[in-house]
Chains A and B, each alone.
Chain A
């Protein structure tokens, strides 16, 4: 299947991070150890080709915590497919980020 993107190790690792609940840009940077200048353009590209969607935190949550709403990313159906495909190639990734402490997006 063509996901419109090269399933490189970097791609795979970012997809895996999102899949495992690291959904904010900075969290992905933290957990993958990739530089921000790699992660953000990758996220834009994923969104462009439809591997992930992005949303903003609900205003109430942000207001309650007295800060601006953050943007978080979710895998789409395609994104999950691409990840599965990538995991076949990079088997070691499968257990990455599982069980790590995840700051979940705080929905209302």
Chain B
């Protein structure tokens, strides 16, 4: 009866419950099925007893049993919750069980992830991040362009005014230009980084004041004066913090700019430093501060302009709109055809959302190279961790086999292993983030020093955190997946019988191929590091024409209000004389420029008996120096004479050429006695300047940077200078000993010579050279560091794999030794195999190096990307270090006790 009933009542509904039960977590499944089945059974029985078990009621029951699906779904949550916690707890226990393994893995990952985070934050700051302004996508720089390319400069100011007033395409336009004003704050003279901006600059960009207000067009309405009530200025949040200690009373504070009082009216929002990344604008003054004469110059390029496109206006249409105005303006000015072709051919619009950046041009390629390098370091670290995990997974085969045999699914075990990987990687990632601030500080220190210091803000913001998190997850998957797949491909029965064994060989082969890849990547990185390091070395040892050691430099700026004309000339002489009298000083000089300071002054000259082929032939770089300049920098006079004190204001005008200029204008003939005439502007000079006579030729020196071949230079005596304004000069001092020891005494002498003299950028000349090599130093230092790191990680990998291999083959080695192999022979066996793998990796790495290093060719100096010496050196270093890593397991193999090894089986 019972059996009969049972069979009858195994209805569709109950079969449905059985089916749904499959998705219920195992732990709840039996109870789930029993509860539902018992209810259905009871109900069916009841209905049968009442003779109501008709199709309608059966359908109702079926409908009701469908609800079990929701019940089962609800129970899923439980599955994830406790299995996850279970996985995590078990994972933590496994990590703690093998602390050495965990430490090596976490540290590898931390270094890899930390390096990536630091480089990414730099890339983000320099290349990716848009400026914190409103709708940056609508902003465009308005530049004039010609055969010499757009250089960021805007068209002449009167033309800009026409654009501003007549165009149909832009919602607004603003002008800005750099200006490092010397301010007197609380009685003390100091220099600030700053800019002049048109009155609508802040409102156009949508930059707000967090204190006071920003500038308004009224503040920028009177040429030379600013606003009707005098000059006002806005300062940056950083400057407010740094210089004024966030004193709210800064609003309304009056500082002096020359003779003019300037009222600070506001502080801009944090994170806004201006439109030129790498340059921190401390203070913004109105554009009008430059004065009417500059503002009305018809063909000068001296500022930059930014415009906000009206929504919906295509860029090309806006460009054409401006270009029409531009062409008719240029026609009116009658600028000569060559100059127009070179600089003023057309208007160009370039997106301004990321700012106007030479920084980006300069660092885009090196940063991409570095990012590739750190990505490879991370890959190497991943390979290590994958190898370690693989070894462990092999050791845990029995555990997995037991779990599989007891009914665990493969997915479940893979999840367990991936959980462990993610645990590792989150530990590594967190540690990496802890390293990141140091990394950032280190990186920032490359940029933040010296005369032309770059300001780079490297915050650990959400973008960087997001990057690191994403990278960590990806990393965890990369190195976690392979071991997880491999480990779960286990046939329970043989694995249960024999703990390890069976697939040890295939795992070993996988490990070895990872090691080969690591070795290949390391060699590639070592080659690249070698190329960069040798580039830096080549640049530093290039014959730059001067003797850099033992020179101290500093910028000296007497206040213009106190020193002019004869008084200024006397002050300069006095400073040089006083400093030269100091003990330990060989010579001292003043110059408008100093080599490698990052500044250049181009002028146009006419050379007697020389016919220029184009206007460019007349262009030459000019420096104006006191007589001791050449002696101080160790630049030798090759022909004629140097400059002397007798070349003063009233003496006949004289000048020197460098070799490049002499060669260019005179070939093999002597330039001595040649007459030079400077171009001049009738606006500023009533009559043509007197001609200069070339009285000597000096050696070429590198000026712009160490890479550029020597440019044509002309040197004038400071006393016979061409430039009207030379407020700031560089004092150079050649010391007998260490130049930095003279700093205090030198400053003392300058202060003694005159009051209120601003002294800035105090550094030895070598430091200044280092500063000019910031890009090369950055790349060389980092790539060497990462190359070494990669090598270290690869060797850890090599060591790990070979140790494992030796352990696995203990029996085989025992047999060999029992059959008479000497320990030396065993050692050779292991070493040979290891080095074979290393050689294979090296060959691959070499191929990769040959194929890829040409990408960095433009960053190199003095060597080719396939430089055999560098490649050879890198290979030797790699082999030497790999040999050490291989020796340890080999030695262990040679010390295997054959009896013990054989007994073990």
Contacts and interface: CB of A to CB of B under 8 A. Distances in A.
A26 interface: yes
A40 B74 contact: yes
B42 A67 contact: yes
B71 interface: yes
A70 B39 contact: yes
Contacts of B5: 66
A interface SS class: helix
Interface in A71-90: 71
B449 interface: no
A67 B41 contact: yes
B71 A26 contact: no
A65 B41 CA distance: 11
B38 interface: yes
A26 to B, nearest CB: 4
A26 B38 CA distance: 10
A70 B67 contact: no
B58 to A, nearest CB: 15
A50 interface: no
Contact of A71 (B38, B43, B64, B66): B38
Q: Which of B1, B34, B67 has the most CB of A within 10 A?
A: B67
Nearest to A39: B67
A50 B68 CA distance: 22
A68 to B, nearest CB: 4
A26 B42 CA distance: 10
Contact of B64 (A36, A65, A66, A70): A36
A70 B34 CA distance: 8
A99 interface: no
Contact of B38 (A29, A38, A45, A70): A70
A2 B42 CA distance: 37
B35 to A, nearest CB: 4
Contacts of B67: 29, 35-40
A99 to B, nearest CB: 21
A70 B75 contact: no
Contacts of B647: none
Given A44-B74, A66-B5, A37 B41 contact: no
Contacts of B75: 44
A70 B71 contact: no
A35 to B, nearest CB: 6
A40 B42 contact: no
Contacts of A26: 39, 42-43, 64
A68 B74 contact: no
A68 B74 CA distance: 24
A24 interface: yes
Contact of A69 (B1, B38, B71, B74): B38
B37 interface: yes
Contact of B71 (A24, A37, A67): A37
Q: Which of A24, A36, A39, A65 has the most CB of B within 10 A?
A: A36
A24 B67 CA distance: 15
Contact of A37 (B2, B45, B70): B70
Interface string B536-571: 000000000000000000000000000000000000
Nearest to A48: B78
B330 to A, nearest CB: 75
B69 interface: yes
B39 A25 contact: yes
Q: Which of B39, B43, B45 has the most CB of A within 10 A?
A: B39
A78 B757 CA distance: 83
A38 B69 CA distance: 11
B65 interface: yes
B190 to A, nearest CB: 62
B32 to A, nearest CB: 9
Q: Which of B1, B37, B38 has the most CB of A within 10 A?
A: B38
The 8 A-B residue pairs with the shortest CB-CB distance in the complex, in nearest-first order = A36-B67, A37-B70, A37-B67, A40-B71, A68-B38, A41-B74, A71-B35, A70-B38
Interface of B: 1-2, 5, 31, 34-35, 37-39, 41-43, 45, 64-71, 73-75
29 contacts: A24-B42, A25-B35, A26-B39, A29-B67, A35-B67, A36-B66, A36-B67, A36-B68, A36-B70, A36-B71, A38-B67, A38-B70, A39-B67, A40-B67, A40-B71, A40-B74, A41-B73, A41-B74, A45-B74, A66-B2, A67-B45, A68-B37, A70-B35, A70-B38, A70-B39, A70-B42, A71-B31, A71-B35, A71-B38
Interface of A: 24-26, 29, 35-41, 44-45, 62, 65-71
Given A35-B64, A36-B70, A71-B34, 10 more contacts: A29-B67, A36-B67, A36-B68, A36-B71, A37-B71, A40-B67, A40-B70, A40-B74, A45-B74, A68-B38
